[in-house]
Chains A and B, each alone.
Chain A
Amino acid sequence: MIKGPVFRRAALAAVAVSAVAIIAIADVPVNLTSGLKTGKPELKSAGALAFGPDGVLFVGDSLGGSVTAIDTNDRTAPKGAASINVDGLDVKIAAMVGAPADQIVVNDMKVNPLSKNVYLSVSRGKGPDAQPLIVKVDTAGAVSNVSLDNVKFSQVSLVDAPASNPGARQDPRTTTITDMSYVEGNLLVAGMSNEEWSSALRSIPVPFKSAGLGATLQIWHDSHGRYETQSPVRTFVPYTIAGRQYVLAAYTCTPLVKIPVDDLKAGAKVKGQTIADLGAGNQPLDMVPYKKDGKDYILVANTAFGLLKVDANHLETYATIDSPTKNPGTAGMPFEKITSATNVKQLSQLDGSNAVVLTATSGPGPAYAPGPPVGPMSLKTIALP
C-alpha cells in the first residue's frame, strides 16, 4: 500500500540543548588532585594528552569515548635546566612492552610543566585490541611505563546517550579526540566524528562532575570569501590577547582562528575570526606559544610545512581574512620556516626557551596527510627559535 506524502514538522523541545553558561572563571585555585578516586582507570585507547595544574594528566580515549584525569604524582621540578634527548625511542618502548617496533604507535606527547618529564600516549599494536600505554621519559632520558594499576583518577564519558535502535549491535560511532587543552577551570576537547561531519568542541568543567558532559559548542569561521564552514579543530592553544582570554585554533589547510573564551557558552554557535592562513595542502600538528626578546611568537609543527615560527605580536590588530588568497595562500600573521629541526611529528614546550620534539619518518601517503609516523623515533630538545 502506498500512501501519498503527508508530512508535518515538529521540533522536539525536550531534546533542545539548554542554554546554560558553564564557563566559570575560578577566583580561587582549585587543587585538581582532590576529589580523585584511587584505582585503575579503564582505557581502551590513549590518544590526545593535556596537562592541567598540579601534575594532572588528561588522557583522551577515542575508542572508549572518555577522558581520564590522572594524578601523575610527578610534581618535583628538575635540578637545573632540563634537556631531553633520546634516540631509538620506539625500539626502547617496544622492548619494554614486548612488541615489534613496527607495532608501536606514538599518539601524542606532552611535557609535564612541573617536572619537565615527557609523557607519551602509545598504542601497542595497530588493531582494535591494541593495548594503550602511558610512557614517561624523565629528564635523564630513562624510559618507563606509567602504571595505571593504582592511581588517583577521575573519568568522564563523552558518549551521548544512544540515539536509536535499542538492542542494536555495538554503536560504530567514535569520536577521535584531535586535541585537548586546560583553560581556566575547563578542559576543552576537540573531536572529529567518524559519522556526522558537523563536529563540536566540548568544554568540560574540571574537576569532572558525575553528571553532564559540559558545554557543546560549534565553532564557525569565515575563511576566504563568503562561505562559512564548520570544521573539526586540529590543534589549539589558550592565548591571551590584549588582556582577553582566547583559544587560538588551527584547522586543516591551514587557517588560524581566534575564539574568545567568553563566547564559549553551552549550546552556543561561536564565530571565530581567521587571523592567519599558513597555506593549503597542509595540516597543523601542534602549537607552542612563547616569548623571545620581549616579542610573542607561536611555533607551529605541520605535516607538509614542517616547523613555522609565527609572529604573534598585536594579534588584536589583525583584521579577519576575508578575501581569497593565492596558493600557497598565506595571509595575516607573518611567519617564517624553521629548518633547524625536521621530521617533527610532536611538539611540546619544555620551558621558556626550549621545546621537546618527537622526530620520526612520515608514514605512507601524501605529505599533507601522511599515515602515523614510523621509526626510528627520537626525542630532541630544541631552542625556541
Chain B
Amino acid sequence: MNQAVRNAGAVVAAMLLAGVAAMAQSPVIELQGGAFRVSGWKAPQSEPSGGWGTVFLVYAGTGKVPALLGSYAVEAGTLVFHPRFPVMAGVHYHAVFREPSGLMIARDFDGPSRATNPVARVEQIYPSADVLPSNLLRLYVVFSDPMSRGEAAGHIHVEDDRGNILPDELLPGQELWDPTFRRLTMTFDPGRIKRGLTSNRTIGPPIVEGRHYRLVVDRDWRDARGVPMVQGFARNFTGGPPERTPPDPAQWRVTVPAQGTTNALAVDFPAPMNYSLLLKMIQVARGQAITAGAVALDRHETEWRFTPDTPWKAGDYRLAIDTRLEDLAGNHIGEAFDIDIFEKVSKSIERKSVTIPFAIR
C-alpha cells in the first residue's frame, strides 16, 4: 500500500470516528462573545485522550511561545475555547484547529481596536499654593480618569526658571497610586531633604528658598487605556523657607457655626497641611458619636471645613485630630520629620489623637 492510500485510509477511519454528520460542512473558527468556537464540526462528547489541546489551540504571540491560557467546553455540540483572560485590545490571535482527519485550518483575529480618544487631564496638583517649603516632601497629582502606571518617571518634571529640567528632584520609580489610579503620590528625594544626609549636604535640598520653579506633567502620560491625555499641565511655584516645626493644634483657629444650621465648621491653620491626610485625620465628635458630614479644603489647604449632614445641636462637641496628620514637610503633630538625636526618642509608638473642644450655641 502506498503512502497516499494509507493516508486516505486513516482519514476515512477518522471521519467515521468523528461522525459522518461532520462532513455536512467545513469547520470554521469564529470569535464570538470573547470565545473561540469551531463551527461546522460536531465535537465528540468525550475529550480526546491527549486533551482538547491536541485538536484546537489559540496563540496570542508569534515564535516559540506558550498557547493562550483558557478552558474548553462542548456547547451544543460545538467545541469552544474560553480564554482565561478577556480578549484584549492590541492583541493578534492565531487559532489552529486540527481535525482528527489530519486536516488543519487556521484563522487569525485581532482583539478590539485600541482606544484613541484622549479623555484624561490633570485636575489638580496638591499642595496647591504658589509658595512651597524647601523641604516639601510629597505631591499629589489628581487626574480626571484612571491612568497607566510606569509613566511617572518619564512624564513629570520639575523645571528651573529657565525651563531646564532638574533631573534629581523626585523619586518617580516607586509609583504610589490610590486604588482607582486617579491620584498619584510623588515623593521628593528624601535624601536631599533630611538634614545631615550626604545628598542634602552635597547637592542641597530639591527646592531652594527664593527660586522659581515650574512643575510640568506631559500630555504623553497615558491613561489606563493607553491613550495620552487631552493636554499637559504646568504650574509655577516659588521656593519658601523650610518647615521644621511640627504642627501645633494650639495654633489653629476654629470658627464655630450656630445651632440649628448646617453651616460649615472651619479650622484655619497657620501653614498648609498635607492634602490627603487633612481629608481624613480630623473628626467631629459629640459624646461617643462621630458626627457625619462632608469635609472640604480651602485656601490652599490652610482651611478645613466640615458641613454636617444634619443641623448642629446645642452642646459640647470636639475635634479629634490624629497625631499622624502631617504638614507639607512630613512633620506630624508633636514630631518633626527629622529628629535631632540629641533629643530623646521615645521607646514606643504613640498612636493617639489630640482633641479641641468646642461648643455649639
Contact = CB atoms under 8 A, between A and B. Distances in A.
Interface string A213-248: 000111010111111110100000000000000000
Contacts of B148: 126-127
A100 B349 contact: no
A6 B253 CA distance: 9
A295 interface: no
Contacts of A98: 60, 68-69, 83-85, 87-88, 91, 93, 111
Contacts of B177: 128, 174, 194
Main secondary structure of the interface of A (DSSP, over half): loop
Interface string B300-342: 0000000000000000000010101010001010000111111
A365 B153 contact: yes
Contacts of A277: 198
Nearest to A268: B348
Contact of B154 (A131, A229, A371): A371
Interface stretch (B96-104, B188-196, B228-236): B188-196
A212 interface: no
B179 A225 contact: no
Nearest to B148: A126
A257 B45 CA distance: 63
B153 A194 contact: no
B280 to A, nearest CB: 5
| Range for the number of chain A residues in contact with chain B | 35 or more
Nearest to A270: B347
A10 interface: yes
B199 A371 contact: no
Contacts of A5: 250, 252-254
Contacts of A77: none
B178 A174 contact: yes
A382 interface: no
Given A7-B250, A280-B191, A327-B198, A127 B181 contact: yes
Contacts of B111: 98
B198 A325 contact: yes
Contacts of A44: 179
A364 B352 CA distance: 41
A169 to B, nearest CB: 10
B262 interface: no
Which label, helix, strand, loop or mixed, suits the secondary structure of the B interface?
loop
B338 to A, nearest CB: 4
Contacts of A127: 146-149, 181, 223-225
Interface stretch (B10-18, B46-54, B353-361): B353-361
A324 B196 contact: yes
Contact of A173 (B178, B190, B250): B178
Contacts of B40: none
Given A165-B295, A268-B348, A225 B168 contact: no
Contact of B224 (A101, A128, A231, A252): A128
Interface stretch (A14-22, A181-189, A311-319): A14-22
For chain B, give the interface size range.
35 or more
A196 interface: yes
Contacts of B342: 226
Contact of B85 (A131, A192, A327): A131
Contacts of B282: 164
A197 B138 contact: yes
B250 A95 contact: no
Contact of A224 (B59, B91, B196, B324): B196
Interface string A1-44: 11101111111100111010000000000000000000000001
A82 interface: no
Contact of B280 (A91, A92, A164, A253): A164
Interface in A94-114: 94-101, 103, 105
Nearest to A142: B66
A97 B152 contact: no
B211 interface: no
A385 interface: no
B153 A327 contact: no
B74 interface: no
Contact of B61 (A94, A105, A171): A94
Contact of A96 (B68, B225, B257, B351): B68
Contact of B199 (A97, A176, A327): A327
B194 A172 contact: no
A165 B280 contact: yes
Contact of A105 (B85, B150, B171, B277): B150
A194 B178 CA distance: 7
B302 to A, nearest CB: 16
Q: Which 3 A-B pairs have the closest CB atoms?
A: A365-B153, A127-B224, A95-B61
23 contacts: A5-B250, A63-B179, A95-B68, A96-B66, A98-B85, A100-B91, A129-B224, A163-B281, A164-B280, A194-B178, A200-B349, A226-B196, A228-B338, A229-B194, A253-B198, A269-B345, A269-B347, A280-B197, A327-B202, A363-B173, A364-B153, A366-B168, A374-B150
Interface of A: 1-3, 5-12, 15-17, 19, 44, 63, 88, 91-92, 94-101, 103, 105, 124-129, 131, 143-145, 163-168, 170-174, 176, 178, 192-198, 200, 216-218, 220, 222-229, 231, 252-253, 267-269, 271, 277, 279-281, 283, 303, 324-327, 329, 363-366, 368-372, 374
